[in-house]
Structure 1
């Protein structure tokens, strides 16, 4: 039985250093996600995660490809919270329902470029960054750049922080994500 209990903080209960990050999250999302509420126990984790998320959204990957990275990494890591959250956000941003379903089921995508992103992300996570050179070459041959190889690494790093936090904290799913609830095969 675990003795760890991760509180769900808000701007009044979080450590002082986490409060501005929670206020920013509320402004950005309209609410404080339970992920941010858990992360607030470590202001540095919350700040780091939010900084990585901001940088990843600025990265050179096309918008649809960013969603592919976030969902694929979360599926590969078996993170029910992040798959539900990113599925919801991907659908809201215009990714097709059949594409989101394929990602959630770890199935190939029809779109050649998005499939290259999915495959490269999956290999990177599964191989803990030791992607075979032919996988890197295939990603670049699909029209991506060396910069975008590293942008995928950035997205995976961001998801590693949240996926691992959710695993150990058993973060409850926000109502906003519940329609896309997902259970890993593990």
Structure 2
């Protein structure tokens, strides 16, 4: 049971209900983590804004999911691992790729650079070396891509932390943090 209230449709105020209706129309449902965010409608709106920006940028959807899977595993976030396993499969990631992502890697050479860079950003709180930035350029990433990787790091840290603090009920098929996908 969630330690922070999960706002259900029957207790949602008008503002929360409108936010849920928009989420429902775009996703087909309202994930429990977003219902936790809804305790602060402003926080939910901010998250939606960051998520919109991050999902419409230059990074491809599969690489975004690879980063999310790496962070969910690294941060031991069961909710996020379950959610991004589902979304990753929809983005074309197979079991071997998901397992590589969970280990901080990728079977795709270019994506592997981005996943490793993202993890380094978090480990070093942005204090990456010139060589690490150059590796991104050498792999074919642009300045915009690097900014977006930073954005994905922040979004994934946010969701991992809120999920763990709230202990939100997982509403996706559960994935064992200690076993391969």
User: What TM-score, normalized by structure 1, do the two folds share?
Assistant: 0.87
Shift of the alpha carbon at 1:123? 0.7
Unpaired runs of at least 5, structure 2? none
SS at match of 2:173: helix
Q: CA deviation at 1:27?
A: 1.6
After superposition, the C-alpha distances for 1:89-146 in whole angstroms (9 at most, x for unaligned) are 0101212221011112x15322111111111111112212222221111111111011
Unaligned residue ranges in structure 1 (runs of 5+): none
Residues in 2 aligned to 1:125 and 1:75: alpha-carbon distance in whole angstroms: 13
Count of aligned positions: 178
Q: Is contact 1:14-1:41 (8 Å) kept?
A: no
- Spell out, residue by residue over 1:21-59, the C-alpha distance to the aligned partner (whole angstroms, 9 max, x if none): 221121222221110111111111111111111111111
The structure whose RCO (Cα within 8 Å, separation 6+) is larger is 2
Q: Which runs of at least 4 in structure 1 moved beyond 6 Å after TM superposition?
A: none
CA distance, structure 2, for counterparts of residue 51 and residue 107 of structure 1: 27
Q: CA RMSD in A?
A: 1.9
Task: Report which stretch shifted further, 68-77 or 45-54.
Answer: 68-77
The reply to whether residue 59 of structure 1 matches residue 57 of structure 2 is yes
